Structure 1
Amino acid sequence: MSAPVATSGGGVGMPARQEEVLATVASRVWTTIREEVQRDYQSEPLLSGFMFSTILAHDTMEESLAFILAKKLENAVLPAPKLSQLFQEVLRLEEVRKDYLADLMATYERDPACRRYSSCFLYYKGFHAIQTHRVAHALYNQGRTSLALFLQSRSSEAFHVDIHPGARIGRGMMLDHATGVVMGETAVVGDNCSMLHSVTLGGSGKVTGDRHPKIGKGVFIGAGAVILGNVKVGDDSKIGSCAVVTKEVPAKHVAVGMPAKMFPLRRLEKRIKSKL
Protein backbone atom coordinates (compact mmCIF):
# COMPACT_ATOMS: atom_id res chain seq x y z
CA MET A 1 0.00 0.00 0.00
CA SER A 2 1.13 3.59 -0.53
CA ALA A 3 2.45 5.49 2.47
CA PRO A 4 0.16 8.09 4.07
CA VAL A 5 0.93 11.72 3.38
CA ALA A 6 1.08 14.37 6.08
CA THR A 7 -0.40 17.81 5.55
CA SER A 8 0.92 21.19 6.57
CA GLY A 9 -0.43 23.43 9.30
CA GLY A 10 0.53 21.61 12.48
CA GLY A 11 -0.27 18.00 11.95
CA VAL A 12 -2.40 15.61 9.97
CA GLY A 13 -5.03 17.93 8.51
CA MET A 14 -8.39 17.87 10.31
CA PRO A 15 -11.47 18.66 8.16
CA ALA A 16 -15.03 18.57 9.55
CA ARG A 17 -15.09 15.05 10.93
CA GLN A 18 -11.84 15.26 12.83
CA GLU A 19 -12.06 12.04 14.79
CA GLU A 20 -12.95 10.01 11.71
CA VAL A 21 -10.07 11.50 9.70
CA LEU A 22 -7.64 10.96 12.56
CA ALA A 23 -8.71 7.33 12.92
CA THR A 24 -8.31 6.75 9.17
CA VAL A 25 -4.83 8.27 8.98
CA ALA A 26 -3.71 6.46 12.13
CA SER A 27 -5.01 3.18 10.77
CA ARG A 28 -3.11 3.61 7.50
CA VAL A 29 0.13 4.50 9.26
CA TRP A 30 -0.22 1.56 11.65
CA THR A 31 -0.93 -0.82 8.77
CA THR A 32 2.17 0.45 6.98
CA ILE A 33 4.31 -0.06 10.09
CA ARG A 34 3.03 -3.60 10.57
CA GLU A 35 3.69 -4.47 6.92
CA GLU A 36 7.25 -3.14 7.13
CA VAL A 37 7.93 -5.02 10.36
CA GLN A 38 6.33 -8.22 9.07
CA ARG A 39 8.88 -8.26 6.24
CA ASP A 40 11.71 -7.81 8.74
CA TYR A 41 10.23 -10.50 10.97
CA GLN A 42 10.43 -12.97 8.11
CA SER A 43 13.79 -11.92 6.70
CA GLU A 44 15.86 -11.40 9.88
CA PRO A 45 15.49 -14.31 12.36
CA LEU A 46 17.70 -12.68 14.99
CA LEU A 47 15.18 -9.84 15.31
CA SER A 48 12.00 -11.88 15.11
CA GLY A 49 11.41 -11.83 18.87
CA PHE A 50 12.04 -8.09 19.03
CA MET A 51 9.73 -7.39 16.08
CA PHE A 52 6.97 -9.51 17.56
CA SER A 53 7.12 -8.07 21.08
CA THR A 54 7.31 -4.43 19.99
CA ILE A 55 4.91 -4.34 17.02
CA LEU A 56 3.23 -7.55 15.91
CA ALA A 57 1.93 -8.53 19.36
CA HIS A 58 -0.09 -5.29 19.65
CA ASP A 59 -3.44 -4.39 18.13
CA THR A 60 -3.03 -0.62 18.16
CA MET A 61 -0.30 1.94 17.66
CA GLU A 62 -0.88 3.33 21.16
CA GLU A 63 -0.31 -0.08 22.75
CA SER A 64 2.86 -0.59 20.74
CA LEU A 65 4.31 2.86 21.42
CA ALA A 66 3.45 2.56 25.11
CA PHE A 67 5.27 -0.79 25.26
CA ILE A 68 8.36 0.60 23.50
CA LEU A 69 8.60 3.64 25.74
CA ALA A 70 7.95 1.62 28.90
CA LYS A 71 10.74 -0.86 28.12
CA LYS A 72 13.19 2.00 27.54
CA LEU A 73 12.22 3.94 30.67
CA GLU A 74 11.50 1.24 33.22
CA ASN A 75 13.49 0.94 36.43
CA ALA A 76 13.21 -0.77 39.81
CA VAL A 77 10.67 1.82 41.02
CA LEU A 78 8.33 1.70 38.03
CA PRO A 79 8.50 -1.57 36.03
CA ALA A 80 7.50 -1.71 32.38
CA PRO A 81 3.93 -3.05 32.84
CA LYS A 82 2.93 -0.13 35.07
CA LEU A 83 4.60 2.42 32.81
CA SER A 84 3.00 0.86 29.74
CA GLN A 85 -0.44 1.19 31.27
CA LEU A 86 0.22 4.83 32.13
CA PHE A 87 1.49 5.61 28.62
CA GLN A 88 -1.49 3.93 26.99
CA GLU A 89 -3.93 6.01 29.03
CA VAL A 90 -2.30 9.26 27.95
CA LEU A 91 -1.52 8.31 24.34
CA ARG A 92 -5.20 7.51 23.77
CA LEU A 93 -6.18 11.12 24.50
CA GLU A 94 -7.25 12.67 21.21
CA GLU A 95 -4.90 15.67 21.37
CA VAL A 96 -1.89 13.56 22.30
CA ARG A 97 -2.75 11.09 19.56
CA LYS A 98 -2.78 13.90 16.99
CA ASP A 99 0.57 15.10 18.29
CA TYR A 100 2.51 11.84 18.14
CA LEU A 101 1.05 10.93 14.75
CA ALA A 102 2.10 14.31 13.33
CA ASP A 103 5.59 13.89 14.83
CA LEU A 104 5.97 10.48 13.23
CA MET A 105 4.87 11.71 9.82
CA ALA A 106 7.03 14.84 10.07
CA THR A 107 10.14 12.76 10.77
CA TYR A 108 9.36 10.47 7.84
CA GLU A 109 8.94 13.48 5.52
CA ARG A 110 11.84 15.67 6.68
CA ASP A 111 14.60 13.23 7.62
CA PRO A 112 16.23 11.90 4.43
CA ALA A 113 17.65 8.96 6.41
CA CYS A 114 14.15 7.86 7.47
CA ARG A 115 12.84 5.69 4.65
CA ARG A 116 10.22 3.78 6.65
CA TYR A 117 7.73 4.70 9.36
CA SER A 118 8.80 1.70 11.39
CA SER A 119 12.40 2.96 11.56
CA CYS A 120 11.34 6.12 13.37
CA PHE A 121 8.77 4.31 15.48
CA LEU A 122 11.20 1.66 16.70
CA TYR A 123 14.62 3.27 16.74
CA TYR A 124 14.63 7.07 16.76
CA LYS A 125 15.31 8.28 20.26
CA GLY A 126 14.35 11.84 19.30
CA PHE A 127 10.85 10.60 18.51
CA HIS A 128 10.79 8.58 21.74
CA ALA A 129 11.98 11.54 23.79
CA ILE A 130 9.32 13.84 22.36
CA GLN A 131 6.55 11.30 23.03
CA THR A 132 7.80 10.82 26.59
CA HIS A 133 7.63 14.59 27.00
CA ARG A 134 4.10 14.71 25.60
CA VAL A 135 2.99 12.19 28.22
CA ALA A 136 4.86 14.07 30.97
CA HIS A 137 3.36 17.39 29.80
CA ALA A 138 -0.17 15.95 29.94
CA LEU A 139 0.46 14.68 33.46
CA TYR A 140 1.99 18.03 34.45
CA ASN A 141 -1.15 19.83 33.27
CA GLN A 142 -3.25 17.41 35.34
CA GLY A 143 -1.32 18.41 38.46
CA ARG A 144 0.62 15.13 38.63
CA THR A 145 3.88 17.04 38.89
CA SER A 146 5.98 14.42 40.67
CA LEU A 147 5.22 11.76 38.08
CA ALA A 148 5.88 14.23 35.24
CA LEU A 149 9.27 15.14 36.71
CA PHE A 150 10.08 11.46 37.17
CA LEU A 151 9.50 10.90 33.43
CA GLN A 152 11.66 13.93 32.62
CA SER A 153 14.46 12.45 34.72
CA ARG A 154 14.19 9.00 33.14
CA SER A 155 14.06 10.51 29.65
CA SER A 156 17.21 12.50 30.39
CA GLU A 157 18.96 9.32 31.57
CA ALA A 158 17.71 7.08 28.74
CA PHE A 159 17.72 9.45 25.75
CA HIS A 160 20.10 12.24 26.89
CA VAL A 161 17.28 14.70 26.20
CA ASP A 162 16.19 16.99 29.04
CA ILE A 163 12.83 18.71 28.46
CA HIS A 164 10.97 20.18 31.41
CA PRO A 165 7.38 18.86 31.46
CA GLY A 166 6.11 22.44 31.53
CA ALA A 167 7.58 23.20 28.09
CA ARG A 168 5.03 23.39 25.28
CA ILE A 169 5.86 21.70 21.97
CA GLY A 170 3.67 21.96 18.88
CA ARG A 171 2.71 19.22 16.44
CA GLY A 172 4.93 17.89 13.71
CA MET A 173 8.14 18.12 15.73
CA MET A 174 11.25 16.47 14.34
CA LEU A 175 14.03 16.03 16.88
CA ASP A 176 16.87 14.59 14.82
CA HIS A 177 19.64 12.65 16.65
CA ALA A 178 18.46 14.41 19.82
CA THR A 179 21.47 13.88 22.08
CA GLY A 180 22.08 16.89 24.32
CA VAL A 181 18.83 18.75 23.65
CA VAL A 182 17.67 20.88 26.61
CA MET A 183 14.40 22.85 26.89
CA GLY A 184 13.45 24.88 29.94
CA GLU A 185 10.16 25.08 31.81
CA THR A 186 8.65 28.08 29.99
CA ALA A 187 9.99 27.26 26.52
CA VAL A 188 7.45 27.16 23.69
CA VAL A 189 8.02 25.51 20.29
CA GLY A 190 5.53 26.00 17.45
CA ASP A 191 4.16 23.49 14.97
CA ASN A 192 6.29 21.85 12.28
CA CYS A 193 9.70 22.68 13.77
CA SER A 194 12.91 20.73 13.25
CA MET A 195 15.77 20.59 15.72
CA LEU A 196 19.13 18.86 15.60
CA HIS A 197 21.27 17.62 18.48
CA SER A 198 22.81 19.67 21.32
CA VAL A 199 20.29 22.50 21.05
CA THR A 200 19.57 24.53 24.18
CA LEU A 201 16.42 26.57 24.80
CA GLY A 202 17.58 27.99 28.10
CA GLY A 203 17.32 30.88 30.51
CA SER A 204 19.55 33.94 30.63
CA GLY A 205 19.85 34.20 34.39
CA LYS A 206 16.34 35.29 35.35
CA VAL A 207 15.47 33.18 38.37
CA THR A 208 11.69 32.94 38.04
CA GLY A 209 8.85 33.69 35.66
CA ASP A 210 8.68 33.47 31.88
CA ARG A 211 12.36 33.06 31.09
CA HIS A 212 12.79 30.73 28.12
CA PRO A 213 12.61 31.11 24.31
CA LYS A 214 9.44 31.19 22.22
CA ILE A 215 10.01 29.43 18.89
CA GLY A 216 7.55 30.11 16.06
CA LYS A 217 6.13 27.72 13.47
CA GLY A 218 8.27 26.01 10.85
CA VAL A 219 11.59 26.95 12.47
CA PHE A 220 14.77 24.95 11.85
CA ILE A 221 17.44 24.96 14.59
CA GLY A 222 20.87 23.61 13.73
CA ALA A 223 23.14 21.44 15.86
CA GLY A 224 24.68 23.08 18.91
CA ALA A 225 22.60 26.25 18.71
CA VAL A 226 21.93 28.05 21.99
CA ILE A 227 18.89 30.32 22.40
CA LEU A 228 18.72 32.08 25.76
CA GLY A 229 16.08 34.07 27.57
CA ASN A 230 12.49 34.99 26.80
CA VAL A 231 13.24 35.85 23.17
CA LYS A 232 11.08 35.17 20.15
CA VAL A 233 12.19 33.35 17.03
CA GLY A 234 9.77 34.20 14.24
CA ASP A 235 7.96 31.76 11.96
CA ASP A 236 9.93 29.98 9.23
CA SER A 237 13.30 31.22 10.45
CA LYS A 238 16.53 29.22 10.60
CA ILE A 239 19.09 29.16 13.40
CA GLY A 240 22.55 28.14 12.25
CA SER A 241 24.66 25.49 13.93
CA CYS A 242 26.39 26.71 17.11
CA ALA A 243 24.70 30.12 16.89
CA VAL A 244 24.16 31.94 20.19
CA VAL A 245 20.86 33.84 20.12
CA THR A 246 19.95 36.31 22.87
CA LYS A 247 17.79 38.72 20.84
CA GLU A 248 14.60 38.39 18.81
CA VAL A 249 14.88 36.77 15.39
CA PRO A 250 12.29 38.14 12.93
CA ALA A 251 10.17 35.80 10.83
CA LYS A 252 11.87 34.32 7.77
CA HIS A 253 15.37 35.27 8.89
CA VAL A 254 18.60 33.35 9.38
CA ALA A 255 20.59 33.75 12.60
CA VAL A 256 24.27 32.73 12.52
CA GLY A 257 27.36 33.32 14.64
CA MET A 258 28.32 34.05 18.25
CA PRO A 259 26.60 36.34 19.06
CA ALA A 260 24.11 35.70 16.28
CA LYS A 261 23.62 38.12 13.42
CA MET A 262 20.32 38.22 11.50
CA PHE A 263 19.87 38.07 7.73
CA PRO A 264 16.61 37.97 5.74
CA LEU A 265 16.20 34.44 4.45
CA ARG A 266 15.18 35.57 0.97
CA ARG A 267 18.30 37.74 0.55
CA LEU A 268 20.56 34.90 1.70
CA GLU A 269 18.89 32.45 -0.69
CA LYS A 270 19.48 34.90 -3.57
CA ARG A 271 23.18 35.16 -2.66
CA ILE A 272 23.54 31.39 -2.64
CA LYS A 273 21.78 31.01 -6.00
CA SER A 274 23.96 33.73 -7.57
CA LYS A 275 27.10 31.79 -6.65
CA LEU A 276 25.89 28.51 -8.13
Structure 2
Amino acid sequence: MNATPSVDQLWRTIRREAESAMARDPVFGAALSSAILDHPDFAHALAHQIGARLGKSPADRARFTQLARDAFGRSPDLVDAASRDLQSIAVHDPATTTLLPPLLNFKGYVALQAWRVSNLLWRQRRNDLALLLQSLSSDQLSVSIHPTASIGTSVFLDHATGIIIGAFAVIGDEVTVLQNVTIGRKHSEPDRAPRIGRGVLLSAGSSIIGGVSIGDFAKIGAGAVVEHDVPPGCTAVGVPARLTNCREKVSV
Protein backbone atom coordinates (compact mmCIF):
# COMPACT_ATOMS: atom_id res chain seq x y z
CA MET A 1 0.00 0.00 0.00
CA ASN A 2 1.28 3.48 -0.87
CA ALA A 3 2.56 5.23 2.26
CA THR A 4 0.22 8.18 1.71
CA PRO A 5 -2.66 7.22 -0.58
CA SER A 6 -5.40 9.74 -1.17
CA VAL A 7 -8.72 9.42 0.60
CA ASP A 8 -10.28 8.12 -2.64
CA GLN A 9 -7.55 5.48 -2.99
CA LEU A 10 -8.02 4.48 0.64
CA TRP A 11 -11.77 4.14 0.11
CA ARG A 12 -11.30 1.94 -2.94
CA THR A 13 -9.01 -0.32 -0.91
CA ILE A 14 -11.54 -0.54 1.92
CA ARG A 15 -14.32 -1.45 -0.51
CA ARG A 16 -12.18 -4.18 -2.09
CA GLU A 17 -11.41 -5.59 1.37
CA ALA A 18 -15.12 -5.50 2.24
CA GLU A 19 -16.11 -7.25 -0.99
CA SER A 20 -13.51 -9.97 -0.38
CA ALA A 21 -14.67 -10.43 3.21
CA MET A 22 -18.28 -10.63 2.04
CA ALA A 23 -17.39 -13.36 -0.44
CA ARG A 24 -15.61 -15.35 2.25
CA ASP A 25 -18.38 -15.01 4.84
CA PRO A 26 -21.91 -14.13 3.62
CA VAL A 27 -23.20 -13.86 7.19
CA PHE A 28 -20.61 -11.20 8.00
CA GLY A 29 -21.39 -9.68 4.62
CA ALA A 30 -24.79 -8.47 5.77
CA ALA A 31 -23.11 -6.20 8.32
CA LEU A 32 -20.59 -5.05 5.73
CA SER A 33 -23.32 -3.80 3.44
CA SER A 34 -24.68 -1.30 5.97
CA ALA A 35 -21.25 -0.39 7.34
CA ILE A 36 -19.29 -0.04 4.09
CA LEU A 37 -20.82 -1.01 0.78
CA ASP A 38 -24.00 1.07 1.08
CA HIS A 39 -21.96 4.29 1.43
CA PRO A 40 -20.68 6.46 -1.44
CA ASP A 41 -17.36 7.42 0.15
CA PHE A 42 -15.08 7.13 3.16
CA ALA A 43 -16.59 10.16 4.93
CA HIS A 44 -20.09 8.67 4.89
CA ALA A 45 -18.84 5.28 6.10
CA LEU A 46 -16.86 6.89 8.91
CA ALA A 47 -19.83 9.03 9.95
CA HIS A 48 -21.90 5.83 10.09
CA GLN A 49 -19.32 4.26 12.44
CA ILE A 50 -19.38 7.30 14.75
CA GLY A 51 -23.17 7.29 14.89
CA ALA A 52 -23.34 3.54 15.45
CA ARG A 53 -20.79 3.67 18.30
CA LEU A 54 -22.06 6.76 20.12
CA GLY A 55 -25.82 6.53 19.63
CA LYS A 56 -27.84 4.71 22.28
CA SER A 57 -31.02 4.53 20.19
CA PRO A 58 -31.83 4.46 16.46
CA ALA A 59 -32.76 8.15 16.59
CA ASP A 60 -29.50 9.04 18.36
CA ARG A 61 -27.47 6.97 15.93
CA ALA A 62 -29.07 8.76 12.98
CA ARG A 63 -28.55 12.15 14.65
CA PHE A 64 -24.85 11.65 15.38
CA THR A 65 -24.24 10.13 11.97
CA GLN A 66 -25.68 13.23 10.34
CA LEU A 67 -23.70 15.47 12.68
CA ALA A 68 -20.47 13.77 11.63
CA ARG A 69 -21.41 13.93 7.95
CA ASP A 70 -22.05 17.65 8.25
CA ALA A 71 -18.69 18.16 9.98
CA PHE A 72 -16.83 16.19 7.33
CA GLY A 73 -18.61 18.08 4.58
CA ARG A 74 -17.64 21.45 6.06
CA SER A 75 -14.07 20.44 6.94
CA PRO A 76 -12.54 17.93 4.51
CA ASP A 77 -9.29 18.17 6.50
CA LEU A 78 -11.00 16.02 9.16
CA VAL A 79 -11.49 13.27 6.58
CA ASP A 80 -7.86 13.54 5.50
CA ALA A 81 -6.74 13.28 9.14
CA ALA A 82 -8.99 10.23 9.64
CA SER A 83 -7.44 8.64 6.55
CA ARG A 84 -3.93 9.18 7.91
CA ASP A 85 -4.92 7.77 11.31
CA LEU A 86 -6.30 4.63 9.66
CA GLN A 87 -3.25 4.13 7.45
CA SER A 88 -1.00 4.49 10.50
CA ILE A 89 -2.78 1.63 12.27
CA ALA A 90 -2.30 -0.67 9.28
CA VAL A 91 1.39 0.21 9.15
CA HIS A 92 2.26 0.08 12.85
CA ASP A 93 -0.09 -2.43 14.50
CA PRO A 94 1.29 -5.98 14.21
CA ALA A 95 -2.23 -7.35 14.73
CA THR A 96 -3.49 -6.07 11.38
CA THR A 97 -2.13 -5.10 7.97
CA THR A 98 -5.43 -4.13 6.36
CA LEU A 99 -7.77 -1.17 6.69
CA LEU A 100 -11.18 -2.77 7.19
CA PRO A 101 -10.72 -4.33 10.68
CA PRO A 102 -9.61 -1.13 12.46
CA LEU A 103 -12.32 0.90 10.75
CA LEU A 104 -15.00 -1.54 11.90
CA ASN A 105 -13.64 -2.80 15.19
CA PHE A 106 -11.03 -0.53 16.80
CA LYS A 107 -12.93 1.71 19.19
CA GLY A 108 -9.91 3.92 19.74
CA TYR A 109 -9.98 4.85 16.08
CA VAL A 110 -13.67 5.80 16.23
CA ALA A 111 -13.14 7.70 19.49
CA LEU A 112 -10.37 9.75 17.90
CA GLN A 113 -12.55 10.66 14.92
CA ALA A 114 -15.46 11.54 17.22
CA TRP A 115 -13.02 13.86 19.02
CA ARG A 116 -12.14 15.50 15.69
CA VAL A 117 -15.83 16.29 15.24
CA SER A 118 -16.16 17.60 18.81
CA ASN A 119 -13.08 19.77 18.38
CA LEU A 120 -14.62 21.34 15.27
CA LEU A 121 -17.85 21.96 17.17
CA TRP A 122 -15.91 23.63 19.99
CA ARG A 123 -14.16 25.91 17.52
CA GLN A 124 -17.59 26.80 16.15
CA ARG A 125 -18.64 27.73 19.74
CA ARG A 126 -21.08 24.83 19.92
CA ASN A 127 -19.57 23.92 23.28
CA ASP A 128 -22.48 22.00 24.79
CA LEU A 129 -22.73 19.67 21.82
CA ALA A 130 -18.96 19.19 21.78
CA LEU A 131 -18.98 18.20 25.45
CA LEU A 132 -21.89 15.84 24.81
CA LEU A 133 -19.79 13.97 22.25
CA GLN A 134 -16.94 13.76 24.77
CA SER A 135 -19.31 12.35 27.38
CA LEU A 136 -20.76 9.77 24.99
CA SER A 137 -17.29 8.69 23.90
CA SER A 138 -16.32 8.26 27.53
CA ASP A 139 -19.48 6.26 28.30
CA GLN A 140 -19.60 4.13 25.16
CA LEU A 141 -15.92 3.76 24.24
CA SER A 142 -14.01 4.37 27.52
CA VAL A 143 -12.03 7.17 25.84
CA SER A 144 -12.44 10.75 27.11
CA ILE A 145 -10.78 13.50 25.06
CA HIS A 146 -11.64 17.10 25.87
CA PRO A 147 -12.72 19.11 22.83
CA THR A 148 -10.06 21.75 23.52
CA ALA A 149 -7.20 19.27 23.15
CA SER A 150 -5.01 19.48 20.05
CA ILE A 151 -4.09 16.21 18.31
CA GLY A 152 -2.06 15.63 15.17
CA THR A 153 -2.47 12.92 12.55
CA SER A 154 -1.28 9.32 12.19
CA VAL A 155 -2.19 8.93 15.87
CA PHE A 156 -3.03 5.46 17.24
CA LEU A 157 -5.08 4.85 20.39
CA ASP A 158 -4.20 1.18 20.90
CA HIS A 159 -6.63 -0.99 22.92
CA ALA A 160 -8.22 2.32 23.91
CA THR A 161 -9.76 1.63 27.29
CA GLY A 162 -9.40 4.12 30.12
CA ILE A 163 -7.69 6.83 28.05
CA ILE A 164 -8.11 10.38 29.37
CA ILE A 165 -6.78 13.38 27.45
CA GLY A 166 -7.57 16.58 29.29
CA ALA A 167 -8.30 20.14 28.28
CA PHE A 168 -5.66 21.97 26.23
CA ALA A 169 -3.32 18.97 25.99
CA VAL A 170 -1.26 18.97 22.80
CA ILE A 171 -0.36 15.71 21.03
CA GLY A 172 1.84 15.63 17.94
CA ASP A 173 1.79 13.47 14.84
CA GLU A 174 2.54 9.73 14.88
CA VAL A 175 1.94 9.31 18.62
CA THR A 176 0.84 5.93 20.02
CA VAL A 177 -1.25 5.90 23.21
CA LEU A 178 -1.96 2.61 24.96
CA GLN A 179 -4.69 1.76 27.44
CA ASN A 180 -5.23 3.53 30.77
CA VAL A 181 -3.12 6.55 29.90
CA THR A 182 -3.87 9.90 31.53
CA ILE A 183 -2.72 13.23 30.07
CA GLY A 184 -3.86 16.14 32.17
CA ARG A 185 -3.22 19.35 34.09
CA LYS A 186 -2.40 19.85 37.76
CA HIS A 187 -5.02 21.55 39.92
CA SER A 188 -2.30 23.92 41.09
CA GLU A 189 -1.45 24.87 37.47
CA PRO A 190 -4.76 24.93 35.60
CA ASP A 191 -3.34 26.99 32.73
CA ARG A 192 -0.53 24.56 31.89
CA ALA A 193 -1.22 21.31 30.03
CA PRO A 194 1.14 18.60 28.74
CA ARG A 195 2.67 18.82 25.27
CA ILE A 196 3.49 15.51 23.61
CA GLY A 197 5.94 15.59 20.70
CA ARG A 198 6.00 13.68 17.45
CA GLY A 199 6.40 9.90 17.44
CA VAL A 200 6.08 9.49 21.21
CA LEU A 201 5.01 6.16 22.74
CA LEU A 202 2.86 6.39 25.88
CA SER A 203 2.77 2.90 27.36
CA ALA A 204 -0.08 1.33 29.30
CA GLY A 205 -1.04 2.99 32.57
CA SER A 206 1.32 5.95 32.24
CA SER A 207 0.36 9.43 33.45
CA ILE A 208 1.63 12.73 32.05
CA ILE A 209 0.68 15.46 34.52
CA GLY A 210 1.12 19.22 34.44
CA GLY A 211 2.76 21.62 32.03
CA VAL A 212 5.44 19.17 30.91
CA SER A 213 6.95 18.67 27.48
CA ILE A 214 7.60 15.19 26.10
CA GLY A 215 10.19 15.46 23.33
CA ASP A 216 9.92 13.89 19.90
CA PHE A 217 10.28 10.09 19.76
CA ALA A 218 10.50 9.74 23.54
CA LYS A 219 9.08 6.64 25.20
CA ILE A 220 7.10 6.60 28.44
CA GLY A 221 7.16 3.25 30.20
CA ALA A 222 4.19 1.34 31.53
CA GLY A 223 2.84 2.83 34.76
CA ALA A 224 5.27 5.76 34.75
CA VAL A 225 4.20 9.04 36.34
CA VAL A 226 5.80 11.98 34.52
CA GLU A 227 5.72 15.45 36.09
CA HIS A 228 8.90 16.87 34.52
CA ASP A 229 10.06 17.36 30.95
CA VAL A 230 11.36 14.37 28.98
CA PRO A 231 13.97 15.28 26.33
CA PRO A 232 13.64 13.99 22.76
CA GLY A 233 14.53 10.32 22.34
CA CYS A 234 14.68 9.55 26.06
CA THR A 235 12.77 6.82 27.89
CA ALA A 236 11.02 7.66 31.17
CA VAL A 237 10.18 4.86 33.61
CA GLY A 238 9.01 4.51 37.20
CA VAL A 239 7.16 6.50 39.85
CA PRO A 240 8.24 9.23 39.88
CA ALA A 241 9.65 8.87 36.39
CA ARG A 242 13.41 8.75 35.85
CA LEU A 243 15.17 8.98 32.50
CA THR A 244 17.07 6.24 30.69
CA ASN A 245 18.51 5.72 27.19
CA CYS A 246 19.18 9.43 26.67
CA ARG A 247 21.83 10.62 24.26
CA GLU A 248 23.16 12.96 26.95
CA LYS A 249 23.13 12.55 30.71
CA VAL A 250 20.05 14.30 32.06
CA SER A 251 17.71 13.77 34.99
CA VAL A 252 14.14 14.43 36.06
**Shorter-chain TM-score range:** over 0.9
5+ residue gaps, structure 1: 7-23, 269-276
CA distance in 1 between counterparts of 2:17 and 2:106 reads 16
Deviation digits for residues 57-79 of structure 1 (CA, Å, limit 9, x no counterpart): 01100001101110111135962
Q: Which position in structure 2 is the counterpart of 1:235?
A: 216
The number of residues matched between the two structures is: 248
Contact 1:105 1:172 in 2 (8 A): yes
- Residue of structure 2 aligned with 1:110, choices 66, 85, 92: 92
Secondary structure of 1:224 counterpart: coil
Contact 2:148 2:168 in 1 (8 A): yes
- What amino acid does structure 2 have at the position aligned with 1:226? S
Deviation digits for residues 178-206 of structure 1 (CA, Å, limit 9, x no counterpart): 10000110111011111111100022222
CA RMSD of aligned residues (A): 1.7
Q: TM-score, normalised on structure 1?
A: 0.86
- Residue of structure 2 aligned with 1:198, choices 180, 184, 206: 180
Q: Which position in structure 2 is the counterpart of 1:148?
A: 130
Give the CA deviation at 1:80.
1.8
Q: Which position in structure 2 is the counterpart of 1:20?
A: none
- What amino acid does structure 1 have at the position aligned with 2:14? I
- Residue of structure 1 aligned with 2:44, choices 63, 82, 104: 63
Deviation digits for residues 85-107 of structure 1 (CA, Å, limit 9, x no counterpart): 11012123122122111101111
CA distance in 1 between counterparts of 2:127 and 2:59 reads 16
CA distance in 1 between counterparts of 2:246 and 2:59 reads 48
Q: Which position in structure 2 is the counterpart of 1:49?
A: 30
Q: Which position in structure 2 is the counterpart of 1:4?
A: 2
- Residue of structure 2 aligned with 1:262, choices 238, 243, 252: 243
CA distance in 2 between counterparts of 1:178 and 1:197 reads 5
Deviation digits for residues 22-80 of structure 1 (CA, Å, limit 9, x no counterpart): xx611111111111111111221221221000000011000011011101111359622
Q: Which position in structure 2 is the counterpart of 1:170?
A: 152
CA distance in 2 between counterparts of 1:103 and 1:181 reads 17
Contact 1:4 1:29 in 2 (8 A): no
Secondary structure of 2:3 counterpart: coil
Contact 1:4 1:25 in 2 (8 A): no
Q: Which position in structure 2 is the counterpart of 1:30?
A: 11
Contact 1:227 1:246 in 2 (8 A): yes
Q: Which position in structure 1 is the counterpart of 2:66?
A: 85
Give the CA deviation at 1:209.
2.1
CA distance in 2 between counterparts of 1:61 and 1:95 reads 13
CA distance in 2 between counterparts of 1:267 and 1:224 reads 27
CA distance in 1 between counterparts of 2:170 and 2:194 reads 7
CA distance in 1 between counterparts of 2:202 and 2:154 reads 14
- What amino acid does structure 2 have at the position aligned with 1:130? L
Cα distance 1:101–1:239, how it changes in 2: closer, same or farther (>3 A)? same
Secondary structure of 1:79 counterpart: helix
Secondary structure of 1:72 counterpart: helix
Contact 1:234 1:251 in 2 (8 A): yes
5+ residue gaps, structure 2: none
Contact 2:189 2:210 in 1 (8 A): no
Give the CA deviation at 1:207.
6.2
Q: Which position in structure 2 is the counterpart of 1:12?
A: none
Secondary structure of 1:126 counterpart: helix
